[in-house]
Amino acid sequence: MPRGDKSKYTDKEKRQAEHIEEGYEERGVPEQEAERRAWATVNKVHGGGEKRGGGGFGKAENHEPMRKGGRTSHDRTRG
């Protein structure tokens, strides 16, 4: 699978990446950077592309990366 090929991702992962990307673009992040960040978040949550064994295989999703952005951007103690 060449770099950048999204064929091994589930429809749910693709939808999530699109939604996350739109959120970044609304905040003024350039399109390519928004796409990169969105897929990085999806990978962090789901552990990469489609897994053997189909849906529900392996560990549960870790939603912490999706919550992290809002918390860190509103943290008054940071720089």
Three-state secondary-structure class, residue 50: coil
The confidence score (pLDDT) of residue 67 equals: 76
Q: What is the model's pLDDT at position 15?
A: 94
In a domain, 28, yes or no: yes
68 is a domain residue = no
19 within domain boundaries: yes
Residues 79 and 59 sit within 8 Å (Cβ to Cβ)? no
Structure confidence at residue 19 (pLDDT): 94
73 in a structural domain: no
- Is residue 55 one of the residues assigned to a domain? no
Asked whether residue 75 is domain-assigned, the answer is: no
Residue 32 maps to a domain: yes
Whether 23 is in a domain gets the answer yes
pTM (2 d.p.): 0.66
What's the structural domain count of the chain? Answer: 1
- Could you tell me the residue range of the domain that residue 17 belongs to? 8-47
- The low-confidence residues of the chain, meaning pLDDT below 70, are 1, 50-60, 68-79
- Report pLDDT digits (tens) over 64-77: 877 766 566 666 66
